[in-house]
Amino acid sequence: MKMNDMVIVSVDDHISEPPDMFKKHLSGDDLASAPTFKVLDNGTSYWEYQGMKMPSVGLNAVVGRPLEEYGMEPTSLEQLRAGTYDVHARIGDMDVNGIAASLNFGSFPGFDGGRFHKAPDKAKALVHLRAYNDWHITEWCGAYPGRFIPCALLPTWDMQATVEELKRIKKLGCNTVSINENPTVQGLPSIHNAYWEPLWKAVTELDMTICLHIGAGNPAPHASMETPIEAWITTMPMSISTGAADWLNLAALHQYPTLRIALSEGGIGWIPYFLERADFSHSRHQFWTHSRFNFGDLKPSDVFKRHFMCCFIDDAFGLQNLRYLNEDLVSYECDYPHSDSLWPEVPERLHETVKHLTDVQIDKITHGNALRFFKHDMFKHHKREELTVGALRAKAKAAGVDVTPKSSGGASPLEAGEQPRVITSGDLMRMFSHHSKAA
């Protein structure tokens, strides 16, 4: 398959929410008490909600910056590429990158809606979470039908409200939700507790998909504050393996054999060994752990290949070893506008890593699996030939989408006057902590 003939769907991108996002969806006290976008005298922007302050940080939205200006410093909207917060500019950035459709996670609420979970006033948090979903589904995704896969948040601190929200967003056309892979960090029961039974039942009956995004419940560990930051960044995707192992042993997977779970931003190269290890562990330990009560005659790898969508940004090794995965449950993710994103050169890199596959396999991985798994029919709104890499890039060229890197200066995590050296985890943590307190 030629590069320009590919149709690419990204199942993991992000939004830096616009300041006025709640104005069309709330009024009166509900609007007055909603999350508020604020700007410091130095231009740094942040969101404030029920005593919490959430600054925008560089690595979350560095797309379009020169590589040497990447960093963790807080940012202002003026430093960001407009596509991070403006849906119309986003479409231009998708076109120039050959992305036909995109699933977007939020930023200030957390990938899992964690800010609403931490809010002291849960009655208000429920109102604002629902408004967030309304904005995301009807305003952001609804602005360009077919080009976005809606992904909503859930008030899992209240299971009755959660089930009601699932039914409500389903009617709005949303088939995907994002939750914390380890709800114990939110003060909730573990996924193995009966507390979650209504969620499993409702998600299955409504034929919806659950996303588990890295970093929400099981943050990527780093060895020490003196560890070079690249060591931490290297292991971040694989940190999802902790949650994957936990969910793989979820009894509900056997009670609900059609339950669908996406491991968002986790990569695929590590999974063959993960599955081999899970099967080996089960073969050696099931007799005393009684895990056979969960797995029955199935191996853990069988269960994984039935339920879990695996997604990758850049994973040539994983694609070379596709035979060890379920090729029907592998999808592409761009990660725009985060630092791992290959924007605007996704088609070039993706084509290089899939060209050894058949056209049928390429279609599965680039878009077919995603559309099926997330119940999204973009071809209801657009013809296939309108969504190829070549067609979208031609559209972006006609619209004059500029991909020239934009310098915003950045900010060094080193002390003033300090000689250049390897940046450590501690450097970035101190930088983020300092600016968080300032906000």
71 pLDDT exceeds 80? Answer: no
Element (H, E) at 416: none
Of 287, 336, 259, nearest in space to 98 by CA:
336
Segment 94-99 shows an average pLDDT of 98
List the domain boundaries for the chain.
3-413+420-438
Express each pLDDT in 320-331 by its tens digit: 999 999 999 999
Look at the pTM and tell me if it is higher than 0.85: yes
Segment 37-66 shows an average pLDDT of 87
Q: Residue for token digits 């609804």?
A: 142
Look at residue 74 and give its three-state secondary structure: strand
Residue type, 366: T
Tell me the C-alpha to C-alpha distance, in Å, between residue 360 and each of 89, 110, 315, 354, 384.
32, 36, 19, 11, 15
Name every residue whose Cβ is closer than 8 Å to that of residue 368 and which is 6 or more positions away in sequence. none
Asked whether the CA dihedral 130, 134, 135, 140 is positive or negative, the reply is positive
Q: Domain 3-413+420-438 has what CATH class?
A: alpha beta
The pLDDT, as a whole number, for residue 434 is 61
435 pLDDT exceeds 70? Answer: no
The answer to which of 96-110, 189-203, 280-294, 305-319 has the lowest mean pLDDT is: 280-294
Express each pLDDT in 131-183 by its tens digit: 999 999 999 999 999 999 999 999 999 999 999 999 999 999 999 999 999 99
Cα(348)–Cα(410) distance, rounded to whole angstroms?
Answer: 28
* DSSP-derived secondary structure letter, 220: P
Cβ(219)–Cβ(183) under 8 Å?
A: no
Q: What percent of the chain has pLDDT over 70?
A: 97
